[in-house]
Structures are given as structure tokens and as C-alpha cells.
Amino acid sequence: MSKSLTHQDKEGRIRMVGVGGKSVTSRRALAGAHIAMSADAFNAIRDGQGPKGNALHTAELAGIMAAKRTADLIPLCHPLPLTSVKVSIEPDNDGNGYDIRAEVICDGKTGVEMEALTAASIAALTLYDMTKALDKSMTVSAIQLLEKSGGRSGDYKRALPDT
């Protein structure tokens, strides 16, 4: 079976994929992102002393809110009844940024990968917004699906890079 783009019909017109005939199953996705920054910005976030307040807590909440609004932001995403959204932000191993993880769970007819990716992205952008007064050169990167389970395509786990 060859893979094809599911959001286009045979004539190339855009469509929202029909999921009416699919069964409700448990779906889970874990996504990640990274934000690199100066030592001043890193320390301010770590210490909860950013120019706009506690950036970590604000970014985690923003990620949760973003997951819930994904269908409003990405045109062909289905609105989903999410049952759990967790966003965690931890210092990276190098001490020059933060790793973001967003886990989304749903009992539904389609996956939650986009919700997890949106949550991770918005959490990173919120950290940027909360500390841009200290470092405008921050970079957001490594927005990626790390794991998914459920659905017809089965489970997926990103392979770790060789070190």
C-alpha cells in the first residue's frame, strides 16, 4: 500500500479527513521542543525571576491551553475531546536552555499528534515571550513527535540519535 496525502482528494482539493466510520480508541502522543538562551535568561527562568514573572509555570499553562485550541489554529485538525494534557519543562543537559515535553491523551477517532506538537511549540514560544527582555537571540528548535500510540497506524517511537 503506497502512502498518500490524506488531506487532498484525487483532484488535489483540500479536505478534512472523514473519521465518522472509525472506532473510538485510546490515543496518546508525546512531543518535544527545545529553547536555547543566554545564561542570564536561563537563570532568570530557573529562579522564577523573569521580567514578566514565573515563566516556567506560565509556559506550561500556555502549552495546555494550546493543545485544547489546536483545531482553531491548524485548519484541517479535528476538534478532539482531550482527556489529559501535561506539559513539563526541564533544564537541558548543557545548562543553556530548556527541554519541553507535551503529552496529550484522548479517547477518539483520530490521533493527538498535532495537539502535542502545538502544546510543545506554544510552551517554547511562551518562554521566549516571557524572557525576550533578557535575550532576543533565543532559538526554538527540535519541535518533534517523540512517541504516539493508538490508531490504525500503530505505535511510533522516535529513534534516539547515535552518540
Q: Which residues are catalytic?
A: 129
C-alpha closest to that of 140 among 43, 46, 41: 41
- Burial of 43 by CB count in 10 Å (0-12 exposed, 13-18 middle, 19+ buried)? middle
Please check whether residue 32 is in contact with residue 144, taking contact to mean a CB–CB distance below 8 angstroms: yes
Q: Which residues pair with 159 in a beta bridge?
A: none
Q: Which value, to the nearest 10 degrees, does the dihedral of the CA atoms of residues 86, 44, 34, 61 take?
A: 20
163 grid coordinates: 552518540
Please check whether residue 89 is in contact with residue 98, taking contact to mean a CB–CB distance below 8 angstroms: yes
User: 134 vs 40, 44, 51, 65, 94, CA distance in Å?
Assistant: 7, 9, 8, 25, 19
